[in-house]
Structure 1
Amino acid sequence: MSNPEIRELEAFLALADELHFGRAGERLHLSQSRISQLLRALESRVGGRLVDRTSRRVRLTPLGERLHAGLRPAFDAIVETIEEVREAARGVGGVFRIGFQGTANDPFMRAVTAFRDGHPDCAAEIVEIPLSDPFGAVHRGEVDAAVVLMPVRDDALVLGPVFSARPLTLAVSDRHPYARRPGIDAEDLAGCPLIGVAGAAPEYWRLAQAPVVTPGGRAIPAGPAVG
């Protein structure tokens, strides 16, 4: 007797879990007829019927129950071992240090939680990086990745997808004249000193966070710089 193929075992286990050919097919992205074909091939290899199927229900035969009891833990162990080896090959293990500017918001923490759940053998550590130096920690190897404000123009860095997109907001004191306006135009910044960014951040990045001219070319007064 030839050994069963992995797809036959997957089909049998999915059917044993779902007890429904349609749902088992959806789970494996296969048609019902393909699930039936794989089941018949496996039954031919073991020499007996594994599933009883009527118009009203699907259930395992005693032989199917015995196969399922022995196969499920062994199959899960194989899948787990393959995933562990795959993660080891990708280097997903140890500690993954994630740099973050400012306060870690909900989308960021959900992403970190999803990473931890998906890679239980890898500890994810959040490292605060200063506003004044968004890329330095990555260059120095102090973090493995960083979530920073755009733009990023650095050939030595690999830029991933945009993590979240939010509009820029102008924050002023409740005593500031702009606080009483229903809205302001970008040109109004010419009368409002902006807090700038000091430190090692590239000039293009600092100007993106605190521009020195309006879109129309009017100078914006420089306020204090923070790091």
Structure 2
Amino acid sequence: MELRDIEIFLTLAEELHFARTAERLHVSPARISQAIKKQERTLGATLFERTSRHVSLTPAGRQFRDDLLPGYRQIQEAIAKAAAVGRGITGTLRVGFSAAWCGNLIVKAADAFNTHHPGCDIHIQELPLSDGYTLLRARELDLQLTELPVDEPDIMAGPTLFSLPRALVVPAGHPFAARPSVSLEDLADVRLITITGLPQHWLDHHLPTHTPAGNPIPRGPATIAWQEVLSLVSAGKGVFPTSALAADYYSRPDLAFVPFHDAPPCDYALLWPATGQTPKVSAFVQTVLTVARKQGGNAAWPT
């Protein structure tokens, strides 16, 4: 039995669906069916029970799957190691993230990446709120998963991985805290805490100086740290717009996260230096995209 036939059997044993198996392996459903029939003839045993609506493993099929999997994984790991060495996917890859949900995705992607590229170490670190692209430009990071937009000729952005609704962080006793939602126009009635050290195009997008109707938005104190933002909000020094998902990660009794009903989403993507798209970076980007798709596509995954 050839390795491709083993791959077809194991994929079908996982999917239990001929069309999905064919899609994963980039072949036709007929090719899958022919391969399984050939295997069953060779083994003299039925591996799958098949009806028009249902596919399931027979006892012989389950035993065959359990016996094949360890050896198949060893073969795949050996192939991956050899390919990684050939492509230069060894050494260290340094990845930053700006929010807890981004960190969760990066950690899961790193685990998946190490399965196929065990010769490459992944170093993960949280980015300071005020750091735009300093570490990328200094080559202290190879990649970072942070908020868009990015309008820098030397920085590349991958596809959007999270597109999240926005919320306004206010003190728990603030009049806005009792509302079901707020509007961008409401920002004219509060002071907006700001961040120092970030590019102007980023600040204009996330911390605008005027509402859509042109009303000025008063400025509050500026800071460089997320925890200080929360402390300033709690102390009544201002409010701060963020992802609505932040309420699940940074909830405090002295704060309220009030959804916007008219704000654009908060988007996050992988960024890397325009001249830094090495085989390691490309491979890790693809791994992150694969893990993201498995967890729901363009969405957020709190766990």
Q: TM-score, normalised by structure 2?
A: 0.53
Q: Do residues 113 (structure 1) and 108 (structure 2) align? A: yes
Q: CA deviation at 1:51?
A: 2.6
- Choose the corresponding residue for 1:51, options 43, 56, 60: 43
| Per-residue Cα deviation, 1:9-50 (whole angstroms, up to 9, x for no partner) | 1255468879x9xx798586533334556x69xxxxxxxx95
Give the percent of matched residue pairs that are identical in Structure 1 and Structure 2.
28
1:99 touches 1:128 (CA, 8 Å); kept in 2? Answer: yes
1:9 counterpart residue number: 2
1:191 touches 1:220 (CA, 8 Å); kept in 2? Answer: yes
Q: CA deviation at 1:210?
A: 1.2
2:33 counterpart residue number: 32
2:250 counterpart residue number: none
1:139 counterpart residue number: 137
**Bigger mean CA deviation after superposition, 88-97 or 187-196:** 88-97
Distance in 2 (CA, whole Å) between partners of 1:15 and 1:101 is 40
Distance in 2 (CA, whole Å) between partners of 1:76 and 1:177 is 58
**Bigger mean CA deviation after superposition, 178-187 or 217-226:** 178-187
Q: TM-score, normalised by structure 1?
A: 0.68
1:45 counterpart residue number: none
How many residue pairs match? The answer is: 196
Residues 202, 15 of structure 1: alpha-carbon distance in 2 compared, 3 angstrom cutoff: closer
Q: CA deviation at 1:161?
A: 1.5
1:222 counterpart residue number: 219
- Choose the corresponding residue for 1:151, options 145, 149, 152: 149
1:100 counterpart residue number: 97
What does 1:82-101 align with in structure 2 at a 5 Å threshold? Answer: 82-101=79-98
Higher relative contact order (CA 8 A, sep 6+): 2
Distance in 1 (CA, whole Å) between partners of 2:9 and 2:157 is 44
**RMSD over aligned Cα atoms:** 3.7
Give the 3-state SS of the residue equivalent to 1:119 in structure 2: helix
1:98 touches 1:145 (CA, 8 Å); kept in 2? Answer: yes
Residues 89, 216 of structure 1: alpha-carbon distance in 2 compared, 3 angstrom cutoff: farther
2:295 counterpart residue number: none
1:196 touches 1:209 (CA, 8 Å); kept in 2? Answer: no
Residues 98, 152 of structure 1: alpha-carbon distance in 2 compared, 3 angstrom cutoff: same
Where does the alignment leave 5 or more consecutive residues of structure 2 unmatched? Answer: 50-57, 225-303
Q: CA deviation at 1:136?
A: 1.0
- Choose the corresponding residue for 2:210, options 198, 210, 213: 213
Residues 89, 159 of structure 1: alpha-carbon distance in 2 compared, 3 angstrom cutoff: farther
Give the 3-state SS of the residue equivalent to 1:206 in structure 2: helix
2:150 touches 2:202 (CA, 8 Å); kept in 1? Answer: yes
Distance in 2 (CA, whole Å) between partners of 1:158 and 1:50 is 51
Q: CA deviation at 1:185?
A: 2.1
Q: CA deviation at 1:166?
A: 1.4
- Choose the corresponding residue for 1:167, options 154, 165, 173: 165
> 2:109 is matched by which residue type in structure 1?
A
Distance in 2 (CA, whole Å) between partners of 1:24 and 1:11 is 18
1:190 counterpart residue number: 188
Distance in 1 (CA, whole Å) between partners of 2:180 and 2:5 is 64
> 1:83 is matched by which residue type in structure 2?
A
**Bigger mean CA deviation after superposition, 28-37 or 179-188:** 28-37
1:62 counterpart residue number: none
Residues 176, 152 of structure 1: alpha-carbon distance in 2 compared, 3 angstrom cutoff: same
Greater Rg over alpha carbons, structure: 1
1:100 touches 1:146 (CA, 8 Å); kept in 2? Answer: yes
> 1:52 is matched by which residue type in structure 2?
G
Higher percent of residues as strand: 2
Distance in 1 (CA, whole Å) between partners of 2:211 and 2:156 is 31
